[in-house]
Amino acid sequence: MNVLVIHGPNLNLLGQREPGVYGSVTLSAIDAMLRDEADQLGYALRTFQSNSEGELVTAVQDAAGWAHAIIINPAAYTHTSVAIRDAIAAVGIPTVEVHLSNVHAREPFRHASHIAPVARGQIAGFGADSYRLALQAVRGILEEGAGG
């Protein structure tokens, strides 16, 4: 099974950006942890980060034909991007939305997600472990789809 992990804007600054909100773990450490977990599950994993909305849309579109599932942290685009939402809906790949912080306990503008209505679920507030939990959710989705 193939899983694509997409990281949105400013996540390349993890470890130095607002550690009180986002923690001290770097994006490369999150990707390494996910690769290790995916290897244990027998999954192929690709990761992608961009600060550009269009590049994120293209990454979702390019996942068609390869990925069996997508894990996406759209970051600030969660609250603004109809384009990313539409790309996820268009490809029809099961998607799990991830956030490091609990967006529902933060500023009111962060409570609304354009992605949630087209995602299988949303995991937020567990720091880097949010990604690990998302991979476990993907495992459940893929096993369900395989009849297991």
Catalytic residue status for 104: no
Per-residue pLDDT tens over the stretch 105-135 = 566 666 679 999 999 999 999 999 999 999 9
Distance, in Å, from the CA atom of 84 to the CA atom of 34, rounded to the nearest integer, reads: 23
77, 99, 114, 131: which one is catalytic? 99
Catalytic residue status for 131: no
7, 22, 43, 77: which one is catalytic? 22
Given this model, what pLDDT does residue 109 score? 61
Per-residue pLDDT tens over the stretch 8-65 = 999 999 888 666 665 678 999 999 999 999 999 999 999 999 999 999 999 999 999 9
Q: Are 138 and 96 in contact (CB under 8 A)?
A: yes
- What sign results for the dihedral spanned by CA atoms 59, 43, 68, 89? negative
- The structure tokens listed for 35 are 């690769």
Q: Which domains does the chain carry?
A: 1-11+42-57+68-101+118-124+132-142 (3.40.50.9100)
